[in-house]
Amino acid sequence: MHNREMINTIQDKIKISKKLKEKAIEEGFTIAGIASIPGGSRLKLRTYALERWLSNNHHAEMKWMEAERRKNINSLLNDAKSVLSVGFTYINSQNKNNNRLKIGKFSQGEDYHKVIEKKLKNIGKWINFEIPDCKWKICIDTSPLLEKAWAEESGIGWIGKNSNLISKKNGSWFTLGFMILTKDLIPDEPHQSLCGKCDICIERCPTNAIVEPFVIQSDLCIAYHTIENREKTIPKNIEENLNGWVAGCDICQDVCPWNKSVPYNNSFETTPKEWIKNLSIDSLNWDDETWKKNLKGTTLKRIKPWMWKRNIKANLKNNRIKI
């Protein structure tokens, strides 16, 4: 009798785990997987890697990366037993950066934080009905979670040499979302790295920001300086290599072989804003209200109007872009 109950329990876990991932896909996520807490030995290695990255000050001024809670998932939700990891594809067929001023693809549509949170809340309502004794907590990249390590543990992809999570089918053009759960579910197999001997992302980074495989030195990264750097000027070695980038940088993803042929997500959520598609140096004449209006509802509002002007002017120096 006891064994039969055990089998039924396992069967129930298999069923509900499968239904949970199906619900995630139904909500518009491209990929979904489950990991058990505390995770395997690789999670510990990823935690040690984070500590080494921080001790080398590779996070530059991103002090929030130092949060101790990032190393302990149970600090985010008591009695946590499982993690649902999801990926939201943001690449859109209209993402082409034909204009001279370039913006990272992840930020050209709606604010992905809000998009992902809304979808996860819908999953949360489903959990409340299907697994009423399960508590849950939503985490996006604003939460102190070792997110790419948990996504890898959930089997939805692997951490590439450019530090992005990569999926065999969807490349790296997706942002991550998580639900920490107090229910013990059936975990997926952690993903193995498939980068192999390929070093294209390392070789093609114009500022050599990938200082070793899997390690980004933030103060050498174009994306860091165009989005996070709050200084009045951009360092000369970065400025000389901007090549049109004013918000983010996609070079290490554009050259990745796993991104050669991936499905688009042409939903309204990922469709580039018109002003982004047509951004030009005329924007140097925009007042703060115009910037505020255009940036509303996007992740790009993190870049303040004065920073946009700084980034554009930095590109104009030494004819880095043509007027």
**Model pLDDT, residue 137:** 96
d(CA 37, CA 313): 48
141 is catalytic: yes
Question: How do residues 180-223 score in pLDDT, each as one tens digit?
Answer: 999 999 999 999 999 999 999 999 999 999 999 998 999 999 99
Write out the two tokens for 26. 């139904």
Q: Are 146 and 184 a contacting pair, CB within 8 Å?
A: no
Q: Which residue has the higher pLDDT, 143 or 279?
A: 279
Please choose, from the candidates 151, 309, 130, 129, the residue with its C-alpha nearest in 3D space to the C-alpha of residue 234. Answer: 309
**Residue 184: count of CB within 10 angstroms of its CB:** 14
The pTM assigned to this predicted structure is 0.90
Catalytic residue among 79, 111, 141, 199: 141
Q: Are 265 and 90 a contacting pair, CB within 8 Å?
A: yes
**Model pLDDT, residue 3:** 44
Structural domain range at position 274: 1-323
Residue 4: is its pLDDT beyond 60? no
**Model pLDDT, residue 96:** 73
Q: Which residue has the higher pLDDT, 103 or 9?
A: 103
- The pLDDT confidence band at residue 13, using thresholds 50, 70 and 90, is very high
How many structural domains is the chain composed of? Answer: 1
Contacts of 161 (CB under 8 A, 6+ apart): 195, 198, 199, 201, 202, 210, 213, 214
Q: Provide, rounded to the nearest whole percent, the portion of the chain with pLDDT above 90.
A: 77
**Model pLDDT, residue 153:** 95
Question: How do residues 41-83 score in pLDDT, each as one tens digit?
Answer: 787 777 766 677 667 666 656 664 555 665 578 788 999 999 9
Determine if residue 288 is left, alpha or beta; phi over 0 gives left, psi from -120 to 50 gives alpha, anything else beta. alpha
Please choose, from the candidates 111, 103, 92, the residue with its C-alpha nearest in 3D space to the C-alpha of residue 283. Answer: 103
- The pLDDT confidence band at residue 141, using thresholds 50, 70 and 90, is confident
Question: How do residues 224-267 score in pLDDT, each as one tens digit?
Answer: 999 999 999 999 999 999 999 999 999 999 999 999 999 999 99
